């Protein structure tokens, strides 16, 4: 074997070795790339699942919040409806009471006499609604030791007072104290 052949053989061996090393390096590089791709897929899969979980949680919270706001709004509407209904009922009752002026005067006299029991046998000042203050003269003939005071903004009835005490016999006060019972009756009748 001559030098040329030896050189060609060394060249061929070196080339084969280089090719083997290149192939081995390519194989290792491919394995590393596949490993990194798998790692990245796993990482992104975990992140996607975490994002989906967070998104579901946010969605649930948002739906809950919207539902609570809706329920709150419904309750507010219902309360407003009930309050308006109660106000209308009270106004209707007051209108019916005042319709018969004689009976209404008798009712006012009874309210004043009841207030006198609490206030004692002192001179009592009376405040009526602006609409009812015209009734004072008729009532003063039926009840002794009363004095007319300024008219006040009430729906009806009478406020009786001395210099130190008062008894609120206004319809506003009377019906306000009964408001919860009226509401209970309405709710029981409506069924909500």
The per-residue pLDDT for range 34-89, each reduced to its tens digit, is: 888 888 889 899 999 998 999 988 988 888 888 999 899 998 988 888 888 888 88
Tell me the CA distances in angstroms from 139 to 121, 126, 157, 159, one per residue in order: 17, 10, 12, 14
Question: Is 36 among the domain residues?
Answer: no
Total number of domains constituting the chain: 1
Question: Is 153 among the domain residues?
Answer: yes
Question: Is 156 among the domain residues?
Answer: yes
Cα separation of 12 and 53, whole Å?
A: 60
Q: Is the dihedral of CA 172, 178, 183, 188 positive or negative?
A: negative
pLDDT classification of 137: cutoffs 50, 70, 90: very high
Question: Is 183 among the domain residues?
Answer: yes
CATH of the domain at 183: 3.30.2320.30
* 166-170 vs 157-161, strand pairing mode: antiparallel
Question: Is 104 among the domain residues?
Answer: yes
Residues 182 and 134 sit within 8 Å (Cβ to Cβ) = no
Cα separation of 96 and 92, whole Å?
A: 6
Could you tell me how far CA 85 lies from the centroid of its own chain?
20
pLDDT of residue 156: 93
β-pair partners for 152: 129
Question: Is 120 among the domain residues?
Answer: yes
Nearest to 93 by CA among 175, 159, 167: 175
Question: Is 84 among the domain residues?
Answer: no
pLDDT of residue 5: 82
In the numeric block, the tokens 């009226």 are attached to 182
**The domain containing residue 181 runs over which residues?**
100-190
Is residue 169 scored above 70 in pLDDT? Answer: yes
pLDDT of residue 1: 64
């Amino acid at each position: 074997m001559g030098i040329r052949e030896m050189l060609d053989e060394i060249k061929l061996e070196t080339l084969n070795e280089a090719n083997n090393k290149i192939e081995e390096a390519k194989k290792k590089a491919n394995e590393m790339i596949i490993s990194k791709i798998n790692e990245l897929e796993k990482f992104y899969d975990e992140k996607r699942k975490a994002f989906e979980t967070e998104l579901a949680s946010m969605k649930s919270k948002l739906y809950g919040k919207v539902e609570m706001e809706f329920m709150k709004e419904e309750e507010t509407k219902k309360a407003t409806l009930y309050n308006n209904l109660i106000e209308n009922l009270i106004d209707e009752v007051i209108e019916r009471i005042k319709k018969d002026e004689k009976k209404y005067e008798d009712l006012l006299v009874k309210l004043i006499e009841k207030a006198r029991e609490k206030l004692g046998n002192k001179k009592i000042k009376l405040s009526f609604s602006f609409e009812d203050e015209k009734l004072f003269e008729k009532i003063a003939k039926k009840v002794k030791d009363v004095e007319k005071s300024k008219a006040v903004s009430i729906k009806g009835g009478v406020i009786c007072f001395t210099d130190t005490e008062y008894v609120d016999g206004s319809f506003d006060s009377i019906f306000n104290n009964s408001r919860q019972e009226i509401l209970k009756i309405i709710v029981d009748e409506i069924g909500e």
